[in-house]
Amino acid sequence: MSIDNYRYIAMIPARLGSKRIPKKNIRYMAGKPLIQYSIELVLQSNRFESLWVNTESEELGKAAEKLGAQFHRRPDTLASDSATNRDFTYEFLQRHACDYVIMVNTTSPLLRQSTMERFLDYIEGNDYDTVLSVVAEKEETFFQGKPLNFSFSEKINSQLLEPTEAVVWALTAWKRATFMEMQEKGLNPVFGGKVGKFAIPKDEACDLDTEEDWNIAEGILMSRRNKPERRYMEL
């Protein structure tokens, strides 16, 4: 049972097939199958009532069970590329009771345990219906060809810029009651109700879309395990 005020369950969405990085969820990254990082992140916390891998694949579901997760078999109708996060999350919540579902994406293997715990603390300390993980960037940013957080009339130090925030989907929380109510009314529950933003460190916010992304994430993981001695050239 959860030690918190809310009942949390974790959902890891995963498909066996992937067009951009084939079979990425079972591909080894720095010595482990990719999906194992997300499973271990949840299991190492004592704050979840249950952990489910949400997939259409019987093979992937059974592999996830061997790693300590439970298998939620997604209907075949929600297994295609056209299936939306909104649809498969609603189907999942119809079958699992909780206060909040925490979606943990396999494509963010760089998340640290401390970040997961702070994310749950953030939910506990606020009353949000949706909590999105974001990365704040203090960089001169354009939107539709126009400066968003800076002016052409002045160059200021980057630390003085107003940060822009990008949603990274590493961790997402939804209050079950709000999500289901909005979905059943035909409204978009993904950004539903009162929305909170939780900033995560930039080095944890990778998203594995390409082989380049994969190589960068794997390099960071290996660097964390084998911390190199910092050396400097002599002056």
Average pLDDT along the chain, 235 residues, taken 10 residues at a time: 78 87 94 98 97 96 97 90 89 98 97 98 96 95 94 92 94 98 98 98 92 96 87 93
Give residue 117's pLDDT.
Answer: 98
**98 vs 51, 102, 123, CA distance in Å?**
12, 10, 14
Check: CB of residue 128 under 8 Å from CB of residue 194: yes
Q: Is 230 left (phi over 0), alpha (psi -120 to 50) or beta?
A: beta
Give residue 81's pLDDT.
Answer: 72
Task: State the Cα–Cα distance between residues 42 and 125, nearest whole angstrom.
Answer: 20
Q: For residue 124, which of 204, 7, 1, 218 has the smallest C-alpha distance?
A: 7
Task: State the Cα–Cα distance between residues 115 and 125, nearest whole angstrom.
Answer: 15
Please identify, in words, the CATH class of the domain defined by 8-132+168-221: alpha beta
Task: State the Cα–Cα distance between residues 163 and 136, nearest whole angstrom.
Answer: 6
H helices of 125-233, where?
176-184, 211-225
Which pTM value belongs to this model? Answer: 0.92
Residue that has been written with the tokens 């749950």 in this structure: 120
Task: State the Cα–Cα distance between residues 216 and 133, nearest whole angstrom.
Answer: 20
Check: CB of residue 24 under 8 Å from CB of residue 209: no
Give residue 66's pLDDT.
Answer: 97
Task: State the Cα–Cα distance between residues 220 and 44, nearest whole angstrom.
Answer: 21
122-158: per-residue pLDDT in tens?
Answer: 999 999 999 999 999 999 999 999 999 999 999 999 8
User: Is the CA virtual torsion 121, 122, 126, 127 positive or negative?
Assistant: negative
Give residue 3's pLDDT.
Answer: 56
